[in-house]
Amino acid sequence: MKKILVTGGCGYIGSHTIINLINNGYALVSIDDLSNSKADVTNKIKAITGVDIKNYVVDLKNVDATRQVFVAEGPFDGIIHFAASKLVGESVSHPLSYFQNNLLGLLNLLACMQEFDVDKLIFSSSCSVYGNATELPVTEMTPRQEAESPYARTKQIGEDILHDISVHQKKIKTVLLRYFNPAGAHESGLIGEDPSNKASNLVPVITETAIGKRERMVVFGDDYQTRDGSCIRDYIHVMDLAAAHTKAMEYLLNGQNQDYCEIFNLGIGEGVTVLEAIHAFEAITEQKLNYSIGPRRDGDVESIYANYEKARTVLGWSPERSIEDIMRSAWVWEQNRSRKS
């Protein structure tokens, strides 16, 4: 049984990916400092899979504490690195903390990988590296533009660090997964997007408004050059995204990689405006949302959606769920967690 270390394993995407990895026969260890996640997610993973997952409450900025996980739990066959701060608006307000957390954490992880001879890494990147893209849909060859936020810049720099280490040193094989807008929840309704901090992603904001946790929600801008004036994004179901991480790890473990550093886009290949997402939720759930139009938000790009053909042909991955599936599962999750709170 191959053993995988998942950083950020108690977080939204990390926890769903752990479930998919368990279902595909992997042994898992998690590192998560719980700064934007909750410890009880491991209990929910066990309820779904029957498997106990050990999480080390470790801040990756602390290299000695990170190293002790490798000592206690290694050797690892591969690592999936999710742990990072991810809020665009917050990164604009606190850029230094984003550079410290996202980049120092990555560098410390790489130092431990080098010391303990772990040579396979899946990196959680983002469509934000494309900035305001010059073409749509974006492919892996689409040139990166100026980062629109410090968060996006940390992903660009993280990619560059991994490219230089992987390609020039030829000791670490890396897959950079540029994904678009993860949303939705596990079909059990037991886990979903549940940050410790106030949610800022569109879908949980929608569900929290619908259930009454928020009086209203704000659509940031209706004057973009889009179908209805609101931003366009590519919303991908979190379980489709989780499956892609498993396939990417299998790709590396099986020695199928063509280069030391490879890039894959992960989206559904369709752009949905913020207002279209709201209307999709209303249609699926028959819940009327109270929303208003506000000014544009710093750091937001106008339109971005994916061409995922490379992931389909190379990794054998394709998304299976629609925006309607996303909204349906997210609403079930919201109702379940609200009953428990």
* Spatial distance between the Cα atoms of 220 and 177, rounded to a whole number of angstroms: 27
Q: By three-state DSSP, how is residue 221 classified?
A: coil
| Options 98, 151, 235, 251, the catalytic residue | 151
Which residues partner with 120 through β-bridges? 173
**Which residue do the tokens 């719980």 mark?**
34
Helix %, strand %, coil % for the chain, to 5?
Answer: 45, 15, 40
Show the tokens assigned to 75.
């050797």
Q: Would you state the structure tokens that stand for residue 280, as one six-digit string?
A: 């999709």
Is 291 one of the annotated active-site residues of the chain?
A: no
What's the gap between Cα 178 and its chain centre? 9
Residue-wise DSSP of 14-82? HHHHHHHHHHTT-EEEEE---SSS-TTHHHHHHHHHS---EEE---TT-HHHHHHHHHHHPPPSEEEE-
Contacts of 251-260 with C-beta under 8 Å, sequence gap 24+, read: 251/175, 251/314, 251/315, 252/78, 252/120, 252/122, 252/173, 252/175, 253/2, 253/77, 253/78, 253/120, 257/173, 257/175, 259/167, 260/166, 260/167, 260/170, 260/172, 260/173, 260/174
Query: β-pairing, 78-81 with 3-7?
Result: parallel
Q: Give the CA angle between residues 305, 208, 304 to the nearest 5°.
A: 10
> Looking at the annotation, which residues are catalytic?
151
